[in-house]
Amino acid sequence: MNPPDSAVEVAPGVHWVGALDPGLREFDVILKTANGTSYNAYCVRGSAGVAVIDTVKVSHADDFFRRLEQVARYDEIQVIVLNHLEPDHSGALPELMRRAPQARLYISEQAQMMLKGLIKSEELAYTPVTTGDSVSLGDRTLRFLHTPYLHWPDTQCTYLEEDAILFSCDVFGCHYCDPRLFNDRVGDFRFSFEYYYAHIMRPFREHVLAALDLIEPLALNLIAPAHGPILRDAPRAYVQRYRQLAAPLLHNEAAGRAKTLLVFYISSYGNTERMAQAVRDGAEEVEGVRVSLYDLQGSEVAPFVDLVEEADGLVFGSPTINGDAVKPVWDLLSSLAAVKVKEKLGGAFGSYGWSGEAVAMVEDRLRGLKLRVPVKGVRVKLIPTAAELSRCQAFGRDLALHLTGQVTHKIISMEELNAREQAHA
């Protein structure tokens, strides 16, 4: 075991100079951390200078500087790379720049505005970099890979070419604190690795795939992430695991031949349920749409989230109780940040007794999640009549036509829009 305060050699001339935070039990509000976490920072020595890659959370800056001072003098530092500016990586950056004023800061192009937001200084000198850019340390070269949205827009990876070491930032990372540091020595951290992916990377699946296209061709002796164990044993296995995790959890066997529309509903007296059935019936009239109806009372949220990930359209039926949509609807709607829903089709409907706010509230939430909400929802006071059920059916049909791109483009005037709004007021 390494002495608790020492820098740890990762490869010749490459040291871990990060910090351990074993007591942390919740990260960024959204993640539980049963084993705490580590803030991994690295120091790379080249013949023409030293590079520091990432720093640590400000509360752990003393540990970082103590370790850094064991392997480099501040006046040797020529390069500082911040792969991602979230405060758990950039916390010690201002002090590091003060101690090593000659060093040049390298960040991704997308990180520039974030840097100004974090450091609050207009006089910062830095070099924005992207895929293909590199910086020389004499006999060693750091090459940058632009990997946006893993998990912030600014995220990049840095590749030490001569040693085939990938400083991967949050990619391939996890919240698992173990002073033994290396994946072949620490405890079993697989659940943390998978959990981290599911909560941090999964919403950005397309970006994960793009990043893997950049990373997979690289020779990889070691992956040095910004959190969790350093992956020196079989590093490529973790790249392969990301490729598997980036596949949808539920394979949509209808994807090739039909658009999928999910109708979720909850109903206290069966009125919203009858509306849901009518919405389904209407949508089914349209060729090339696979419609599924789900009672939210009959399931936990998580399996629905997996379904939503692969669906083309989502419709929510909710009664209005005390001026609001009901909790199971919000539970599902508040869980969709875990998957990509942007630009899917959305809609809402529901029966109500007094006021009927639920439909508009759900529509606003869907727009907030960047879904398209092209068809105004249907509200019915209490028990739907046959005519009202026909409206629900037409609503379902219209949604299905939008899904399949069969809607005729509408042209209306501002006067008509104003008149329509007054009629609904």
Q: Cα–Cα distances in Å, from 352 out to 378, 381, 414?
A: 11, 5, 31
Q: Across the chain, which distance is largest between two alpha carbons, in Å?
A: 82
Q: Which of 8, 275, 373, 400 binds another protein (CB under 8 A)?
A: 373
> Which DSSP letter does residue 94 get?
H
Q: At its nearest, how many Å lie between another protein and the CB of residue 163?
A: 33
The C-alpha atoms of residue 217 and residue 302 are separated, in whole angstroms, by 34
- Does 409 interact with another protein (rule: CB under 8 A)? yes
Q: At its nearest, how many Å lie between another protein and the CB of residue 179?
A: 38
- Does 417 interact with another protein (rule: CB under 8 A)? yes
Bridge partners, 127 (sequence order): 106
Q: How many residues bind another protein (CB under 8 A)?
A: 27
Q: At its nearest, how many Å lie between another protein and the CB of residue 257?
A: 23
Instruction: Tell me the per-residue interface mask from 106 to 135 with another protein, x by CB under 8 A, - otherwise.
Output: ----x--x----------------------
Q: At its nearest, how many Å lie between another protein and the CB of residue 346?
A: 8
Q: At its nearest, how many Å lie between another protein and the CB of residue 345?
A: 9
Which of the residues 297 through 356 are near another protein (CB under 8 A)? 342-343
Using the rule CB under 8 A, give the single segment among 88-96, 135-143, 160-168, 409-417 that binds another protein.
409-417
Q: Which of 36, 94, 128, 153 binds another protein (CB under 8 A)?
A: 153
Nearest to 264 by CA among 295, 229, 233: 295
- Does 414 interact with another protein (rule: CB under 8 A)? yes
The C-alpha atoms of residue 264 and residue 317 are separated, in whole angstroms, by 6
Which sign, positive or negative, has the C-alpha torsion 163, 167, 173, 177?
Answer: positive
Q: Three-state SS for 228?
A: coil
Q: At its nearest, how many Å lie between another protein and the CB of residue 403?
A: 12
Q: Which of 125, 247, 387, 412 binds another protein (CB under 8 A)?
A: 412
Nearest to 167 by CA among 99, 103, 80, 87: 80
Report which secondary-structure segment, H or E, holds 362: helix 358-368
Q: Which of 125, 298, 421, 425 binds another protein (CB under 8 A)?
A: 421
Q: Which of 47, 370, 385, 390 binds another protein (CB under 8 A)?
A: 370
Cβ neighbours for 49, distance < 8 A, ≥ 6 positions apart = 76, 77, 78, 79, 137, 138
Q: How many residues in the chain?
A: 425
Joined tokens for residue 414: 């501002």
Cis bond before residue 60 (omega within 30° of 0)? no
Q: Cα–Cα distances in Å, from 21 out to 24, 190, 413?
A: 6, 19, 60
Question: Is residue 123 within 8 Å of 117, Cβ to Cβ?
Answer: no
Q: Which of 372, 381, 394, 404 binds another protein (CB under 8 A)?
A: 372
Q: At its nearest, how many Å lie between another protein and the CB of residue 371?
A: 7
Q: Which of 376, 381, 394, 404 binds another protein (CB under 8 A)?
A: 376
The C-alpha atoms of residue 236 and residue 206 are separated, in whole angstroms, by 20
Q: Which amino acid is at 400?
A: A
In terms of CB distance, is 52 or 115 closer to another protein? 115
Q: At its nearest, how many Å lie between another protein and the CB of residue 386?
A: 27
Which of the residues 230 through 289 are near another protein (CB under 8 A)? none
In terms of CB distance, is 32 or 420 closer to another protein? 420
Using the rule CB under 8 A, give the single segment among 138-146, 218-226, 272-280, 407-415 that binds another protein.
407-415
Q: At its nearest, how many Å lie between another protein and the CB of residue 214?
A: 21
Using the rule CB under 8 A, give the single segment among 123-131, 225-233, 384-392, 403-411 that binds another protein.
403-411
Joined tokens for residue 273: 């349920």
- Does 367 interact with another protein (rule: CB under 8 A)? yes
- Does 183 interact with another protein (rule: CB under 8 A)? no
Question: Is residue 349 within 8 Å of 339, Cβ to Cβ?
Answer: no
HSE-CB at 413 with a 13 A cutoff on CA atoms is: 3
Interaction site with another protein (CB under 8 A): 110, 113, 153, 342-343, 363-364, 367-368, 370-374, 376, 402, 407, 409-414, 417-418, 420-421
